[in-house]
């Protein structure tokens, strides 16, 4: 399902970033913060709501659906664990809930990407505290 990438760098398990990845790992679903007071979704994780300033939030599961907002194609990897997959695309996807999330492309070649392409998230669990976010065409 997911390509083997021995030695790859895992996401940080610290702070709110760590909570984001631990929740994805525990559930296999993409969760984002949602403001308890005004219901605004937000990402990346932070302590206060940009809309109303509230410091109260919950982690809520997203639909997992979104559209390609932009992408970049990597021809020279920073992490050598990805050198066998060149070229690969990293996407910015605007979720149906609103926030934009970065993830890897699965299922099609980067040359087949188009703006506004409908995609769905896939969570790759790699440890109890880490997961990778991928998207494939819906």
Beta carbon of residue 42, minimum distance to Zn ion (angstroms, whole number): 8
Q: Which is nearer to Zn ion, 10 or 56 (CB)?
A: 56
56 forms part of the interface with Zn ion (CB under 5 A):
no
Cross-sheet strand order for the sheet of 31-35:
41-42, 31-35, 57-61
52 forms part of the interface with Zn ion (CB under 5 A):
yes
Q: Which is nearer to Zn ion, 41 or 135 (CB)?
A: 41
35 forms part of the interface with Zn ion (CB under 5 A):
yes
Reply yes or no: is the peptide bond before residue 99 cis, omega within 30 of 0: no
Q: Which is nearer to Zn ion, 31 or 134 (CB)?
A: 31
Residue 10's closest CA among 71, 89, 87, 24?
24
38 forms part of the interface with Zn ion (CB under 5 A):
yes
Q: Which is nearer to Zn ion, 49 or 123 (CB)?
A: 49
Reply yes or no: is the peptide bond before residue 44 cis, omega within 30 of 0: yes
**Identified binder of Zn ion from the candidate list 51, 63, 107, 109, rule CB under 5 A:** 51
> Do 131 and 18 touch, CB atoms closer than 8 A?
no
Which residues lie across from 96 on neighbouring strands?
none
48 forms part of the interface with Zn ion (CB under 5 A):
no
Beta carbon of residue 104, minimum distance to Zn ion (angstroms, whole number): 30
The C-alpha atoms of residue 127 and residue 40 are separated, in whole angstroms, by 29
Residues lying near Zn ion in the complex (CB under 5 A) are found at 35, 37-38, 40, 49, 51-52, 54
């Amino acid at each position: 399902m997911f390509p083997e990438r021995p030695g790859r760098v895992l996401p940080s398990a610290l702070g709110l970033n760590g909570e984001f990845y631990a929740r994805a790992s525990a559930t296999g679903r993409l969760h984002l913060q949602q403001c308890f007071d005004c219901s605004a979704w937000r990402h990346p994780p932070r302590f206060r709501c940009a809309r109303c300033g509230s410091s109260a939030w919950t982690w809520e599961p997203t639909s997992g659906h979104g559209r390609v907002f932009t992408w970049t194609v990597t021809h020279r990897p920073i992490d050598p664990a990805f050198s066998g997959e060149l070229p690969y695309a990293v996407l910015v996807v605007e979720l149906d809930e609103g926030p934009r999330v970065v993830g890897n492309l699965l299922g099609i070649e980067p040359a087949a990407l188009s703006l506004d392409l409908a995609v769905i998230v896939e969570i790759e669990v790699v440890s109890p505290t880490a997961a990778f976010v991928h998207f494939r065409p819906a």
